[in-house]
Amino acid sequence: MTSPDLFKLDNRVVAVVGAGSGIGEAVARGAARQGARVICLDLDAATASSTADRIRAASGAADSRALDITDSAAVDAVLQNISAAHGRLDAVVCTPAINVRKKIVDYTDEEFDRVVRVNLKGTFNVVRAAGRVMLPRGTGSIVVFSSIRAQVIEPGQSVYASTKAAIVQLVRTAAAEFGPSGIRVNAIGPGIVETPLTAQIKAKPEWYAAYANKSVFKRWASAEEMVGPTLFLISDAASYVTGTILFADGGWLAADGRFTPPGM
């Protein structure tokens, strides 16, 4: 296989969870451009359908379905159905997450449960269901989304950061369990990305600028900039990559502060 072909997804069936907006939408469209048949999955059926429509309008192949990742039976059924309908399921990408920014002492039980249910249980449901589909075939790639918050935090991020750190351990465990059957499992760790999840930050100029300045590029990422790292992990270019997290954070974790020493 030649180098350009390593990144091709021709004839692959790729399910993207969270394809209705943000990073998920960008990844779905990017996978289609690389030749994949993309199944757009989202809690919001209308936005998933809209993404599929845009892919087809650009001469790509796409279908869409509604999916609530907190419903384990539904996740199993949808991924099994996709595999049965298309005769294969080569890759699953899971992007959804929610955040409630509060100090630990102010967090309610309901808020804790909601963030954990979506971010950790939902991701677990997708990884488990994808494994159940892929293991009998002996091939496949699973990519889920963690965050820089798996390693560094700020006040108000206790539960979100905990779920993102837990996702890394989930990925490692799944890689160890699924690897002997030929299944790869990895995570993406974005920095700050312009998506609906971060709209409240963008709306506050001082907060927005502080995050931009933490990146060594002095800017936020676009959702499109998460496409390349994700497609790398589901492509043959990453055939020996599993159990890891690929940080796409603009150098956020590389630089430990905002202060530049005098004379530098």
Catalytic residue ranges: 160
CB 44 within 8 A of CB 68: no
User: Angle at the Cα of 128 (from 126 to 129), degrees rounded to 5?
Assistant: 65
The dihedral through the CA atoms of 165, 161, 196, 198 has a sign that is: negative
User: Angle at the Cα of 69 (from 68 to 74), degrees rounded to 5?
Assistant: 70
Helix axes 45-57, 22-33, angle to 10 degrees: 30
**All residues at 6 or more sequence positions from 263 whose CB lies less than 8 Å from its CB, including other chains:** none
Which among 93, 85, 86 is positioned nearest to 67, based on CA atoms?
93
- Structure tokens that stand for 251 in this block: 């150098």
β partners of residue 89: none
Helix axes 122-134, 158-178, angle to 10 degrees: 10
Which among 65, 2, 54, 61 is positioned nearest to 34, based on CA atoms?
61
